[in-house]
Chain A
Amino acid sequence: MPDATETVIGMLAQYFPPAIARAVVRSTLRRGGFANDSLDVGDLPDFVSALEQTLPMYIVDLERRGECVERVRELLPHAQRGPAPSPRPRPTPRENGRSPADRAPDSPRDPSDGAASSERLVGGSVRVRSSHDVVQACDLARETARKLEFSLLDQTKIATAASELARNILLYAGDGEVRILKVESPRGLQITAIDSGPGIADIDLVMNGGYRSRTGMGMGLKGAKRLMGELEIRSRLGVGTTVVATKVLR
């Protein structure tokens, strides 16, 4: 199989400096559970799914991110492109030992049929513009955690964290999106909160200092980190903030 790593890095270099492009590919390979550091052309469909999960860390702007994923998808030979592009990152389960090429080139892949699709339907996204959307994000997180068989306590923690992150969007950006995803290796649930608000000037201050209060406000990010275990923030002033919080299923 030809190595596609350099091709993908070359494409991503339109969006990032080369060193970052390399880092994006590396972290995507890691997150996607790929065996080694190089990328076969045959792995590209899985890589694209994994990329949809990694990219929010690097590109905040929804449209730009979608475009970037599409560019990588276009590197696929036509028959392997799979289902129509979805604006929502959707982890595609790896097909057990079956190469995508085994499929007839024109066979339609309707994402709404078959057992594999119910797997894919775990999670979803909520546009956050009002406190009612915060409630929705919270409900979606609990429902997803329940489907993934998290304990009742962890369901509560995850739902609360989603609520905190959605509330943060509402308070500081006014508009954004919360996505709930199932992740593999390690198996767990991921909440991604994206906004194009003012950004956070001093992440360290938010996470470690100052904004401490026993009564609530300003607890959002810190609280969410404690509840989820892992939490990463990418923020640029005037551009927006992406928070990715992951809870591992134990």
Chain B
Amino acid sequence: MQTARIPIIALYANLIVPLQGAIADDVMVQLSEDVTRRIEDGRIRGLVIDVSGVETLDSYLTKNLRDLALTARLMGVSAVVSGLRPAVAITLIEMGLEIPGVRTTLNLERALEALHEAHEEEARSLGEGGQGDA
């Protein structure tokens, strides 16, 4: 079976990954490869994994999403998971699952705002660092 590929959208310096429906393991592996390769290019500063199209998040997929977000962060890219549906969020909590260490936002718009703020924060602290040295 040919592996379906999840599209990755580049917007300014951000990557947006819109997840839809159920995601099989091989698709997830392919996605992780694709995302990290794009990050390696060097121009990317933020990653949004939008799960508003996902009806079911089981523990396995949740772990995979977290791993992808943490991998991106380890490569120096801010990562946000956006758009958890109410039923999905309640289900995760009921199972005792969280996504520790990963920022989540209500929707894609908030995610982009959050990334923008994070970048400005970063720029400011770099700027202050520069002034301090001078």
Interface residues in chain A, defined as those with a beta carbon under 8 Å from any beta carbon in chain B: 130-132, 134-135, 138-139, 142, 152-153, 155-157, 159-160, 163-164, 167, 212, 214-217, 219-220, 222-223, 226-227
Contacts and interface: CB of A to CB of B under 8 A. Distances in A.
Tell me which of B58, B59, B85, B86 has the highest count of chain A C-beta atoms within 10 A of its own C-beta: B58
Interface in B1-43: 1, 22-26
Given A156-B87, A223-B97, 7 more contacts: A153-B86, A155-B87, A167-B58, A212-B96, A214-B96, A216-B62, A223-B59
B56 A214 contact: no
Contacts of B57: 160
A135 B86 CA distance: 21
B96 A220 contact: no
Chain B contact residues (Cβ within 8 angstroms of A): what range? 20 to 34
B130 interface: no
15 contacts: A131-B24, A142-B55, A142-B56, A152-B87, A156-B56, A156-B91, A157-B91, A157-B94, A159-B55, A160-B95, A214-B97, A215-B63, A215-B97, A216-B60, A223-B96
A226 B55 CA distance: 19
A1 to B, nearest CB: 47
Nearest to A131: B25
Tell me which of B60, B87, B90, B98 has the highest count of chain A C-beta atoms within 10 A of its own C-beta: B60
B57 to A, nearest CB: 7
